[in-house]
């Protein structure tokens, strides 16, 4: 009895596969113009297409067989890996947490943790998290200062008070001077 995978692949890839299952010789000859329908080459062409189609079907059947064998090997490897990880579970430890820990700390480490190595790993993880928290707090403080500065500048804009300009002049005088320069450039574009 074929496996479900082989049946599924065969049903999907091979049905209806033979040329005769979906096109008869009569239907095939009807595709050609009336003047060529009686030509013996049409029947030869149909036989050649049928032969090529059968060869392709055989090729697909072989590929399905190979895929089923490959999937059996993958299932065996998966079952072995599952048994190996199930055997590694210690009482009271969540299997998902253990898997996450293995993935995160598997950089070159193949042996399971002992009490001494797990303590050192936890200490390293704590230090790393504390450093990340400190960096995040510093970033938050910088962002807060930038936001407070922007809010202060917006408040000055709303009330009409402006900070002194870099040149020390009143901002209104600077704007008037810039407008006069613009007017001079517009009046005398050549130079």
**How many residues appear in the chain?**
191
Task: Write the CB contacts of 20 (distance below 8 Å, at least 6 apart in sequence).
Answer: 50
Are 88 and 112 within 8 A, CB to CB?
A: yes
For residue 8, what pLDDT is reported? Answer: 84
Tell me what the mean pLDDT of segment 118-140 comes to. 89
Q: What is the pLDDT of residues 57-116, one digit of tens each?
A: 899 999 989 988 888 888 888 888 877 766 665 556 676 777 777 777 655 555 666 777
Q: Quick check: 141 pLDDT over 80? A: yes
For residue 10, what pLDDT is reported? Answer: 82
Mean pLDDT for the chain overall: 79
Look at 172 and 135; give whichever has higher pLDDT: 135
Query: What percent of the chain is predicted at pLDDT more than 70?
Result: 75
| Lowest-pLDDT choice from 60-74, 117-131, 151-165 | 151-165
For the chain, the maximum distance between any two Cα atoms, rounded to a whole number of angstroms, is 102
For residue 135, what pLDDT is reported? Answer: 93
Q: How many CB atoms lie within 10 A of CB 14?
A: 13
């Amino acid at each position: 009895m074929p496996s479900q995978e082989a049946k599924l692949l065969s049903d999907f890839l091979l049905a209806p596969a033979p040329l005769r299952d979906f096109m008869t010789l009569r239907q095939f000859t009807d595709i050609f113009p009336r003047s060529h329908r009686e030509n013996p080459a049409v029947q030869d062409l149909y036989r050649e297409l049928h032969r090529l189609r059968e060869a392709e079907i055989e090729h697909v059947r072989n590929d399905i067989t190979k895929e089923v064998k490959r999937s059996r090997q993958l299932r065996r490897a998966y079952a072995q890996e599952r048994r190996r990880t199930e055997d590694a579970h210690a009482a009271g430890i969540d299997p998902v947490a253990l898997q996450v820990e293995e993935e995160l700390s598997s950089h070159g480490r193949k042996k399971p943790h002992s009490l001494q190595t797990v303590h050192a790993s936890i200490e390293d993880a704590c230090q790393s998290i504390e450093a990340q928290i400190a960096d995040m707090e510093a970033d938050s403080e910088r962002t807060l200062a930038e936001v407070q500065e922007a809010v202060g500048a917006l408040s000055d804009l709303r009330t009409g008070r402006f900070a002194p300009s870099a040149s020390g002049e009143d901002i209104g005088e600077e704007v008037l001077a810039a407008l006069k320069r613009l007017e001079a450039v517009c009046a005398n574009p050549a130079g």
